[in-house]
Chains A and B, each alone.
Chain A
């Protein structure tokens, strides 16, 4: 069962994994498919499909506004699931959202629909491993990996416990802050990444603030993968339904930076 999960294949590929985020339904559920497809075609390995939420407490202004645009256009969790099913390519699909829409949808139904739509993993920002084991159990039963966060504030002994509750990969938050904040990449960050990676026993992707090919290349020196979100979302904020070309271009330059470790 697990070998069918694209996340396993992606992280076993040997190359640095590029994880990209956009918010489903931004700028509208009618227009989002080509934008996400541009990420895959540009060389992203994992597509994070953001589920819009009215109160995205862990997000900075860029993703907050993406969520507001999507909700204003009538988008919901159902649109995110449907989108996942329509994407072409081998990239892994990960739902990325807050708990309340998942709770309202129902965990069993969510897990079933994830499996049907080709979702490989689900990351719930405001659900630490102590809460809602029912959600993770429902996902695992359908072969969908629960993806958990590790933060700069997480003590060593907790990293292993988090890794135990998760699967696929761990998402390391590069800084104490919200998404899209200024990136603080330095040697200290690389040391922290290496340390967490050694403790985790799962592949580690690093996000929050990673915006440019240079940021990505730096992080990739220590991590298995990098996550870019707000920088892509800002393109959609500016260009709306016409963002595909620019999204593809940024994704390709991130891909190049990772493949050749441009620094």
Chain B
């Protein structure tokens, strides 16, 4: 695979820096600071130490025999749900907040959907003693109120966003407005492989540890390479994190799973790659749900973390080059997959993660039966218990 992005942050026709001029020089500064930090062995060693001692890495690779047998594959789960704070999001936040400190920034802001990135940012800020403001759509503050309470307990200020669709996209708009106002002393910690360059690159590099570990752990189990790697895709950071180490192993099929919401035919979904319309939002050119006038459409998913009308530009590129395939799973399928994993393996996944599990029967159609398949178990389901109580009549 050709290396992406190019120096200007483009992934083929996708990516770039579509922001107001005020943010261009700060993005250049951030790019330079990131490149210097990432090339600095001391920064890398500090981050590695934090990931090991604080986050609990490496996360386990678990052989899920019962669910695998049921489905007809050799199933491996990369247990990002066992990380401190319960999801992969912390990998990125430790790196970005460490970078913010190094850049001399005195304040950190973030957007959050499900609240996992907000919690992870608040956690990193508590650890480093930095004030933290998290923007969260009003609708999400209601369906994820346990995470709102966690962020508050961690010392963060949670600002509900009342504009637009009151979900993740509007939280990101509001975070960008804060950043453009306070850019001289504030670092904006974006939670996915989305936004203007260098964010998609930086977040990918910080999450790539997931795939690097998975590769080593499989080999230690005698599996040279898996047949397929599967992850859910909203913005797409957990997927990019596990895909990246396998990008040049062409025998490994990469599957991203978008949220099909109430069904792809209903229009109430969050499957932007499926939607196949190129657009520009939040500083990036990518696949974007929109109407014929270029107004951004409301996404829908039962999982707040996938409820985003765009997708990280590298996923758009992986789709167009054919290197990765993108499938989807509905709300209902995700709920069924949640129950299946709980009953067969005693693990309650996040609703986001459940979309990846729900797509496994279709993945097996590509790999054939009995193949080694890795699912990135990106987060745990505690935060979704209220939704699960309601939807599964518990």
Contacts and interface: CB of A to CB of B under 8 A. Distances in A.
Interface of A: 53-60, 64, 68, 71, 76-77, 98-105, 125-128, 130-131, 148-155, 158, 162, 173, 176-178, 181
B131 interface: no
Given A77-B293, A101-B294, A177-B180, A130 B8 contact: yes
Contacts of B217: none
B199 to A, nearest CB: 15
A153 B183 CA distance: 9
B295 A54 contact: yes
Contacts of B20: 57-58, 125-126, 128, 149, 151, 173
Tell me if B's interface is mostly helix, strand, loop or mixed.
mixed
B294 A130 contact: no
B263 interface: no
B105 to A, nearest CB: 14
B113 interface: no
Interface stretch (B65-73, B169-177, B329-337): B169-177
Contact of A53 (B19, B183, B282, B295): B295
B26 interface: yes
Contact of A55 (B21, B26, B169): B169
A229 to B, nearest CB: 14
B17 A102 contact: no
Contact of B17 (A98, A131, A162): A131
Contacts of A162: 21
B163 A103 contact: no
Given A126-B18, A158-B24, 10 more contacts: A54-B296, A57-B177, A58-B180, A126-B19, A131-B285, A150-B21, A153-B25, A153-B26, A173-B20, A178-B181
A135 B22 CA distance: 21
23 contacts: A55-B169, A55-B296, A57-B19, A57-B177, A59-B177, A77-B294, A100-B279, A100-B296, A104-B279, A104-B290, A125-B20, A126-B18, A128-B17, A130-B17, A131-B285, A149-B20, A151-B20, A153-B24, A154-B21, A158-B25, A176-B181, A177-B180, A181-B181
Given A100-B288, A153-B22, A176-B22, A105 B169 contact: no
Among all A-B residue pairs, the 3 with the closest Cβ atoms: A104-B294, A101-B294, A151-B22
Contacts of B285: 131
Contact of B293 (A104, A126, A152, A176): A104
B281 A176 contact: no
Contact of B24 (A76, A125, A154): A154
Interface of B: 8, 16-26, 163-164, 169-170, 173, 176-177, 180-184, 278-283, 285, 288, 290, 292-296
A59 B177 CA distance: 8
B183 A103 contact: no
Contacts of B184: 153, 176
Contacts of A58: 20, 177, 180
Contacts of A56: 173
B218 to A, nearest CB: 40
Contacts of A154: 21, 24-25
Interface of A, helix, strand, loop or mixed by DSSP: loop
Contacts of B8: 130
A107 to B, nearest CB: 12
A145 B226 CA distance: 54
A54 B19 contact: no
Given A103-B280, A151-B22, A131 B294 contact: no
A47 B361 CA distance: 58
A157 to B, nearest CB: 11
Nearest to B10: A131
Given A101-B295, A176-B181, A148 B290 contact: no
A131 B18 contact: yes
Contacts of A173: 20-22
A31 B176 CA distance: 32
Contacts of B293: 76-77, 101, 104-105
Contacts of B296: 54-55, 100
B22 A55 contact: no
Nearest to B282: A57
Nearest to B165: A54
A104 B285 CA distance: 12
B177 A105 contact: no
A158 to B, nearest CB: 7
Contact of A176 (B163, B173, B180, B278): B180
B260 to A, nearest CB: 22
A205 to B, nearest CB: 14
A153 B180 CA distance: 10
A68 to B, nearest CB: 8
